[in-house]
């Protein structure tokens, strides 16, 4: 029953995120906002909506380990699982923006998060404000100096919708996200109790992999259709948003107090380690390319990480 709640919750979250995205893009186009701004703000926030809703609701319901585990687990899954599988299927080329902006910002965000929680295990409101402010500064910098690095991934989604459709997608998207998050959290808590494992383990494995499924599906479809494979920049961007937007906004609403020390003594170091490892992998053995060998390394690390969680 708990597994069914989790599956239905994830389906509703994915559908709700897509409907919200359609509504947000449609509304932005009606307001004549430049496409580059839509892509970097509206689309990024809309695609992070499932993680954000799950984390906010978990934190408000005193299940902070699910909120935090979801973000840490998603970041590890994006690089270990999603990127690993993608480059196992097909070699991808890496853009110069990787070492100029994407990777440094991800590392700074990750270290900032570690600095905030390492000593007291609490992500305070003012720390959430700092994280979110860093995101705003990063977006302004990208808009001013890195416009060329931003690619419109889904031009077919850029359709101007009539107002009644925008409102409809907004309402059903919002309801689906709310309902999906309720079911997912209830199922996750129930499963943790049934199998006598911590909420941290469920948050880092089932919940985080579930919220990373859209990225994985998009990556595999892009590779199989011989289209431009999902860029490393997209996955790194998702990790940056998870820390700065999801945890930033969640802790601004309510401080996040971590109860399971495993998040602080193990999981966050795995996230930092895999994030740091991507840099040398991009340059060796083939410069600015990621192939099946690097994919095997990342995927093996992810499998080891997951096995460790259940020991």
CA separation for the pair 202, 65 (Å, rounded): 9
- What homologous superfamily is domain 2-309 in, according to CATH? NCX, central ion-binding region (1.20.1420.30)
C-alpha distances (whole Å) from 267 to each of 64, 65, 70, 308 are: 15, 12, 11, 10
pLDDT at 103 over 60: yes
pLDDT in tens, 121-141: 999 999 999 999 999 998 888
- CA atoms of 246 and 71, how far apart (whole Å): 8
Q: On the CB side of 206, how many CA atoms lie within 13 Å of its CA?
A: 25
Return d(Cα 256, Cα 274) in angstroms, integer: 24
Taking only the tens place, the pLDDT of each residue in 226-244 is 654 456 777 888 899 999 9
256: enclosing H helix or E strand = strand 256-257
Domain spans of the chain, in order of start? 2-309
Query: What's residue 27's pLDDT?
Result: 80
pTM across the whole model? 0.86
Distance CA 128, CA 122 (A): 11
Q: How far apart are CA 142 and CA 37, in angstroms?
A: 10
Rounded CA-CA distance 168/63 in Å is: 31
Please return the burial class of 293, using the count of CB atoms within 10 Å of its CB with bins 0-12, 13-18 and 19+: middle
131: nearest Cα among 261, 255, 264 = 255
For the segment 148-176, what is each residue's pLDDT rounded down to a tens digit?
Answer: 544 444 555 556 778 888 889 889 988 89
- Tell which wins on pLDDT, 119 or 223: 119
Q: What is the model's pLDDT at position 271? A: 97
Tell me which H or E stretch contains 112.
Answer: helix 103-117
């Amino acid at each position: 029953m708990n597994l069914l709640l989790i599956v239905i919750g994830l389906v509703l979250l994915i559908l709700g995120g897509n409907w919200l995205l359609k509504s947000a893009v449609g509304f932005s186009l009606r307001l004549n906002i430049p496409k580059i701004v839509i892509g970097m703000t509206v689309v990024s926030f809309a695609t992070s909506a499932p993680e954000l809703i799950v984390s906010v609701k978990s934190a408000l319901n005193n299940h902070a380990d699910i909120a935090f585990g979801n973000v840490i687990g998603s970041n590890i899954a994006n690089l270990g699982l999603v990127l690993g599988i993608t480059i196992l299927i097909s070699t991808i080329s890496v853009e110069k923006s990787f070492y100029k902006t994407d990777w440094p910002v991800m590392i700074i965000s990750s270290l900032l998060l570690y600095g905030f929680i390492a000593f007291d295990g609490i992500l305070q409101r003012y720390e959430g404000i700092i994280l979110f402010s860093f995101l705003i500064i990063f977006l302004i910098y990208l808009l001013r100096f890195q416009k060329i690095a931003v690619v419109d991934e889904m031009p077919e989604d850029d359709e101007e919708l009539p107002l009644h459709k925008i409102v409809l997608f907004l309402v059903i998207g919002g309801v689906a996200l709310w309902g999906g998050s309720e079911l997912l959290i209830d199922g996750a808590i129930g499963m943790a109790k049934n199998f006598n494992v911590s909420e941290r383990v469920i948050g880092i494995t089932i919940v985080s992999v579930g919220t990373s499924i859209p990225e994985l599906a998009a990556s595999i479809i892009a590779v199989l259709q011989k289209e431009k494979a999902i860029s490393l920049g997209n996955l790194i961007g998702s990790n940056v948003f998870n820390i700065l937007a999801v945890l930033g906004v969640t802790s601004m609403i309510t401080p996040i107090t971590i109860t399971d020390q495993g998040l602080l003594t193990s999981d966050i170091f795995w996230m930092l380690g895999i994030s740091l490892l991507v840099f040398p992998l991009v340059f060796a053995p083939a410069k600015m390319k990621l192939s099946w060998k690097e994919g095997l390394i990342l995927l093996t690390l992810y499998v080891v990480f997951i096995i460790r969680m259940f020991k």
